[in-house]
Chains A and B, each alone.
Chain A
Amino acid sequence: MAELTFTPVIGIEIHIRLKSDTKIFCSCSTNPDSEPNTNICPVCMGLPGTLPRLNHKVVEQGMRAGLALNCGIRPKSLFFRKSYFYPDLPKGHQISQCDLPITTEGFIEVHDENGNLKKIRVHHLHLEEDVGSLHHSASDGRLEGAATSYVDYNRSGMPLAEIVSEPDVSSAKEAVEYVTTLRRRVIYSGASDVELEKGMMRFDANVSMKCSDGRWGRKVEVKNMNSFKALERAIEFEIKRQRKMMLNGEEVKQETRHWNDAKGVTTASRTKEFYRKFIVEPDLPPLHISQEEIDAVKAKMPEMPDVKANRYVNELNIPREVADVITDDKNLAAYFEECLKFDANPVRISHWVRTEVLRVLNETQKKISDFTITPENLAKLVSRVDEGKLSTTQGKEVFDYMFKNNSGIDEAIKNLGITEGGVAGNALNEIIQNILKENPDVLEEIKSGKDKKGKKLKFLQGLVMKETKGQAKPQEVAAAIEEAVK
């Protein structure tokens, strides 16, 4: 009997907080650091007699995010009321574009298990409002009995984009690449900062399994994943669980399950799913977007990260790995491109950004926006190392000095006591050590006393002078080499 094989069929729903100063339907602030229940008003508290007023900025951000996912923008979209009885939403309904969304039919490219590019189709992106946040302990942190939860409505009415994929994802790995690539593109578009630690991106996954014997399990909706890791683990768990059931001849039933991150399992939801009841939101007429506005937003869209990385590779000859790392962070790529304006070699600069800049940012837990070395100073530093005016070691000393002291390159060189152009001391020794390493046979000959006429020593001197581009004093070189081969 042939062994049964299973193919996971996965669709992903993502909620992303869009960037705006005010909420989607009222003028309350979206500041995530505000004190609880300070950014509230009669509109986002659902008080009778209030009317929602759509934020123009949110519409534009939705268009940007949609374009970043290769979606088309629809000239007409509409808001609905989605019935939803839960204490985190005081209106009793969520205003959402669920049925006639602002952008549709896009895609994100990921690599399949064979490393080939594969398109994950994006069904649509729609605008909606967030709900309040429930806390299960009081403001002073004490946990009360099971009877009460505490609500902060600051989040109620924050603008969200819901992004729904087609069921084109076939593994947890593809799912993670899909959400990672999608997040990076949305950040580039300016639609959102998508700060994961601030809960600006949340995931649900629809998982079902197709068996080689023709059986196809029902779709299970897995909810409550708040990180890439949780998404990956939840999908892996669900694939294993459903596979095992189908191997045992059991039927996978359609249900909603919750991911329990602490226990690493999904559990059947105890609450019955609400009927998905929509009515047209009578307080919000259809949203019309003109071709001019679509063109204007398109014109403002920046170069997307994958396009940028390809350009680095093809036009600047930067290695693929370095290009991918630099373009992973929009601000790092912007910094790198600033450096290019100051006439240094792009490949050399890219290596400094990839290694040194990322190293100190990582060590100090800082972001590139807090980085103290100006692009001009980094470009000058790279040029001087390139021209042999500074050795690599000196270059790194200057780099660290500039970073720590927020100084320019000339000040750093002066304060470190480096004589630029005169390669001596440590810098000279570094070069000699490298040359000796590259010529072990020569070193061996000298050490064993075979180099009676000093020819080999001269040979080494020549190599060192060449490496210092003539910036060292020949007598110093000779002395330093004799010292080094002792």
Chain B
Amino acid sequence: MKLNSEEVNAIALESRLLLTEEELSNAVRYINNFLDMLDRFKELNLENVEPFSFAETLECPLREDTVISFTNTQAIFDESEHVDGAFFKVPRIMEE
């Protein structure tokens, strides 16, 4: 599998990244090298091998369902420059 520069640029835009010509060609080379490496796995016999999904062997720690209110919500508001009363202000995005 290979990606062309148009596809890589589309992915970059999805990630909110604007790439210069040079950055784009580097990214294309980098990503395709990586995909080449993945292609090599196809040569392996992976029958009966459970797909790898997580690097640790930990189990997911679970939490009791007990409310602990965060008391310093003001600090969160203070981090935002765009506040109006009890609300955070964001650019309007309307879906019609």
Give A contacts to B, CB under 8 Å.
20-22, 27-29, 35-42, 45, 47, 53-59, 78, 83, 85-87, 100, 134-136, 138-140, 146-153, 224, 258, 260, 267, 269-271, 274-275, 277, 280, 284-288
Bound: A54/B63 CA distance, A:
6
Using an 8 Å CB-CB cutoff, how does the interface string of B10-44 with A read, 1 for contact, 0 for none? Answer: 11001110000000000000000000000000000
**Known pairs A37-B73, A148-B90; A85 contacts B16 (CB<8 A):** yes
Given known pairs A28-B69, A100-B53, A286-B54, the reply for A37 and B87 (CB within 8 Å) is yes
Q: Decide: B54 and A148 in contact? CB cutoff 8 A.
A: no
Main SS class of interface, B: loop
Is B65's CB under 8 angstroms from A267's CB?
no
Known pairs A41-B73, A56-B65; list 5 more (Cβ under 8 Å): A22-B65, A27-B68, A78-B54, A147-B91, A148-B90
B86 at the interface (CB under 8 A from A): yes
Interface centre among B10, B63, B96 (most CB of A within 10 A): B63
Q: Are A285 and B58 in contact (CB under 8 A)?
A: yes
- B86: nearest residue on chain A (CB-CB)? A36
10 contacts between A and B (CB under 8 A): A39-B69, A47-B76, A55-B65, A140-B85, A148-B84, A148-B91, A270-B95, A270-B96, A275-B14, A285-B58
A285 touches B56 (CB 8 A): yes
CB distance from B62 to the nearest CB of A (A): 4
Contact of A83 among B14, B58, B88, B93 (CB under 8 A): B14
Give complex CA distance A247, B92 in Å. 39
Q: 4 smallest A-B Cβ distances: which pairs?
A: A41-B70, A57-B65, A87-B90, A150-B87
Give every chain B residue within 8 A of A47 (Cβ-Cβ).
76, 79
Say whether B1 faces chain A, with CB atoms less than 8 Å apart: no
Are B54's CB and A27's CB within 8 A? no
Distance to closest chain A CB from B21 (angstroms):
23
B78 an interface residue at 8 Å Cβ cutoff?
A: no
8 Å CB contact of B64 from A36, A56, A277: A56
**Could you tell me if A149 and B95 are in contact, using CB atoms closer than 8 angstroms?**
no
Given A53-B61, A153-B88, are A285 and B54 also a contact pair (CB < 8 Å)? yes
**B67 close to chain A: CB less than 8 A:** yes
- With contact pairs A54-B63, A275-B14 given, residues A151 and B90 touching in the complex (Cβ less than 8 Å): yes
Residue contact A149 to B60, C-beta cutoff 8 Å? no
- Within 8 Å by CB of B93, from A22, A27, A86, A153, lies A86
Q: How far is the CA of A29 from the CA of B69 in the complex (A)?
A: 7
CB proximity of B3 to chain A, nearest CB, Å: 13
Interface residues on B, range: 35 or more
Q: Which residues of B contact A78 (CB under 8 A)?
A: 53-54
With A21-B67, A146-B92: A59-B59 Cβ-Cβ less than 8 Å: no
A55 touching B53 by the CB < 8 A rule? no
Bound-state Cα–Cα, A20 to B60, Å: 19
Alpha-carbon gap, A302 to B36, bound state (A):
53
Task: Give the complex CA separation of A35 and B69 in angstroms.
Answer: 13
What residue in chain B is nearest A43 (Cβ atoms)?
Answer: B70
A55 to chain B minimum Cβ distance, whole angstroms, is 5
How far, in angstroms, from A209 to B15 measured CA to CA in the complex?
35
A340 to B33, CA, bound (A): 73
In the bound complex, what is the Cα–Cα distance between A260 and B94 (angstroms)? Answer: 13
Of listed B16, B61, B70, B77, residue having the most chain A CB within 10 A: B70
Q: A21-B67, A27-B67 are in contact. Are A286 and B59 (CB under 8 A)?
A: yes
Which A residues lie within 8 Å of B48 (CB)? none
Q: Does B66 contact A (CB under 8 A)?
A: yes
Residues of B within 8 A of A269 (CB): 95
Name the distance in Å between A330's Cβ and chain B's nearest Cβ.
Answer: 22
The answer on a CB contact under 8 Å between B90 and A149 is yes
> What is the distance, in angstroms, from B93's C-beta to the closest C-beta of chain A?
7
Contact B76 A45 (CB under 8 A): yes
B2 at the interface (CB under 8 A from A): no
Known contacts A21-B66, A37-B73, A224-B95; A287 and B60 CB within 8 A of each other: yes
CB contact between B70 and one of A42, A57, A83 (< 8 Å): that residue: A42
Residues of B within 8 A of A138 (CB): 84-85, 87
B contact residues around A27 at 8 Å (CB): 63, 66-69
How long is the Cα–Cα vector from A135 to B87 in the complex, in angstroms? 9
A44 CA to B85 CA, complexed, in Å: 20
Q: How far is the CA of A139 from the CA of B92 in the complex (A)?
A: 15
Q: A86-B93, A87-B93, A258-B96 are in contact. Are A29 and B73 (CB under 8 A)?
A: no
B54's contact among A38, A41, A153, A280, by CB below 8 Å, is which?
A280
Nearest residue, chain A, Cβ from B59: A288
CA distance A347 to B84 in the complex (A): 60
Q: Is the CB of B95 within 8 A of A258?
A: yes
Distance between Cα atoms of A285 and B56 in the complex (Å): 7
B60:A284 contact, CB within 8 angstroms: yes
Query: Is there an interface contact between B96 and A53, defined as CB atoms closer than 8 Å?
Result: no
Residues of A within 8 A of B60 (CB): 54, 284-288
Q: For the complex formed, measure the closest distance between the CB of A154 and the CB atoms of chain B, giving whole angstroms.
A: 10
**Given A78-B54, A258-B96, A275-B14; A53-B88 close (CB under 8 Å):** no
